[in-house]
Homo-oligomer: A and B are copies of this chain.
Amino acid sequence: MTTAPLRVGLLGLGTVGQGVIRVLRTNADEITRRVGRAVVVTHASARDPHRARDVSLDGIQIVADPIRIAAEADVDVVVEAIGGLSPAKELVLAALRRGKPVVTANKALLALQGNEIFEAAQASGVMIAFEASVAGGIPAIKAIREGLAGNRIEALAGIINGTCNYILTQMSEKGQAFADALADAQRLGYAEADPTFDVEGIDAAHKLTILASIAFGMPLSFDKVSVEGITKVTPQDIRIAQALGYRIKHLGIAKRTDAGVELRAHATLVPEDRLLAKVDGVLNTVLLQGNAVGQIGLYGRGAGGDATASAVVADLVDVARALGSDARHHVPSLAFQPSAVRELNVLPLADVVSSHYLRITVADEPGVLKAITSILAELDISIEAILQKEPQGGADASVAVITSVIPERRFNEAVARVRQLPFVRHDISRFRVEHF
């Protein structure tokens, strides 16, 4: 086997790209001892190559046009650290079609265009590795694709967006409103200037799409994920949830049921004694339920240049080892052999079965509780917990209910009927409740 350095062509010199350079340099000795050869960034491209950076670019050939790295330069593997759909997609496809393995952290690209990209990798017989696309440095993809390869994976749930988790943790610990916690997160660099992708749940849905595919052996199906964010979570809901013994977390959830597969990302009440409830701040966690292993969990830093670079470099080590071996010896991109990847029926939310949290603001009148509980009883919805808060200073009262496990369709009907009650105010809060 050659002991010449593995030549890495790096697309993008942002946080992740710089992290890759730094980690490869800092840990050069360890990495070389593991791989049997050095792993070195030889070429890099960036939109603005002359911007000041935290790492030195000495010894790296800066290439103006990224397509030259992807398609022409004398590199053994291409790392795509640009993000976004274009030109990342064209560059990744160009590299794969030239027979160059690709390592990417780009969850949006894979969630939306992954099927085409994985096909291109398969056609060329080269690897595309993407551990860094989900949960930063936590080896969640390796755990699912390889570590649990003996299992039928029944469900997974993850706190996979650090921005949401940071904001919800701040709201919980400091009683902050969403907007204030978001502003703090932006000031600290945990949220972007335009936070939409994070706080609306889209980033978590991208990651969930990837996790579900490799767990269940289905094509990437982002358009079938039900997506909600955290913008509707109020400090009041967090307080009431706590009083009922729950924390509110933004989860990506994928579950197999007899009726089909559930794919959803949304704010969720989880019992406070579960480990999910205790993973706070910008930490990420992924829980996996396998039919042989039972439940296992992984947690750690889900973002940050070096944590993400840790995953990129682990992928580079895998690629370095596999280089020159026949594709039949590689781990399949989607964990299952391409010919064995199967479309699965994804349930619409109305068919999802879960417990629900409902908070209603009501005028402080007699008969309120009776009217609400009557509607629930008529629809055969049991009440697992109920909390009525006395009005303060002549204001309205609030009633919060945790329901039994029911099809969401029936809960929707209950909410619609409750909304018609004369004493019910406009703001009704509702969130799903899960007991992972």
Contacts and interface: CB of A to CB of B under 8 A. Distances in A.
Nearest to A288: B300
A328 interface: yes
A295 interface: yes
The 4 closest A-B pairs by CB, nearest first: A139-B147, A150-B313, A296-B300, A137-B293
A337 B33 contact: yes
Given A146-B318, A293-B307, 19 more contacts: A23-B150, A27-B152, A27-B291, A31-B150, A35-B149, A36-B337, A139-B142, A139-B148, A143-B298, A147-B314, A148-B310, A148-B314, A150-B310, A150-B313, A150-B314, A150-B316, A293-B300, A294-B304, A322-B329
Contacts of A292: 19, 23, 26-27, 137, 306-307, 309-310, 313
A337 B317 CA distance: 12
A139 B143 CA distance: 6
* Range for the number of chain A residues in contact with chain B: 35 or more
A367 interface: no
Nearest to A31: B150
A30 to B, nearest CB: 5
9 contacts: A30-B151, A33-B336, A33-B340, A131-B147, A278-B278, A292-B309, A292-B310, A292-B313, A324-B329
Contacts of A32: 340
A47 B291 CA distance: 29
Contacts of A309: 150, 292
A259 interface: no
A396 to B, nearest CB: 37
A290 B310 contact: yes
Interface in A262-296: 275, 278, 290-296
Interface in A311-334: 311-314, 316-318, 321-322, 324-326, 328-332
A146 B142 contact: yes
A78 to B, nearest CB: 17
B291 A295 contact: no
Contacts of A34: 149, 217, 332, 335-337, 340
